[in-house]
Amino acid sequence: MAELHVDNAVLETLRDVMEDEYSLLLETFLADSEERLRLLLDTAQGADAQAMRLAAHSFKGSCSNMGAVLLASLCKELEELARRERLDEVVPVLEQVQREFAIVRILFKAELQRYR
């Protein structure tokens, strides 16, 4: 079974709720996610487990709200590693987060093109 990058039912609900503001929501998510990803990378370099846990938790929530299912799952994994202070194991997960966000960015930009 293919992994679910974006839950289209979530996007459909967001389109219905946000109406004319849907494009702005997508743009905000993408810009915010760039910052959240940068923060995750910074916390990994600084070996700050608490900061990484909080950053991963926050990113997980926004990804979940936007239907970025796999990205939310990877953030949950990072959050758990940081909670257990197993920062030596975060690098491969962070790499997966970066790859998955690249996919989500493409999908959301395509979504933006449809609803501008």
pLDDT in tens, 63-105: 999 999 999 999 999 999 999 999 889 999 999 999 999 999 9
Residue 3 lies in a domain: no
Give 3: exposed, middle or buried? Use CB within 10 Å, 0-12, 13-18, 19+: exposed
d(CA 17, CA 35): 25
Instruction: Indicate the SS3 state at residue 109.
Output: helix
Residue 64 lies in a domain: yes
Indicate the number of domains in the chain.
1
d(CA 108, CA 23): 10
Residue 99 lies in a domain: yes
pLDDT exceeds 70 at position 2: no
HSE, CB side, 13 Å, CA atoms: give it for residue 100.
24
CATH number of 51's domain: 1.20.120.160
Residues in the chain, how many?
A: 116
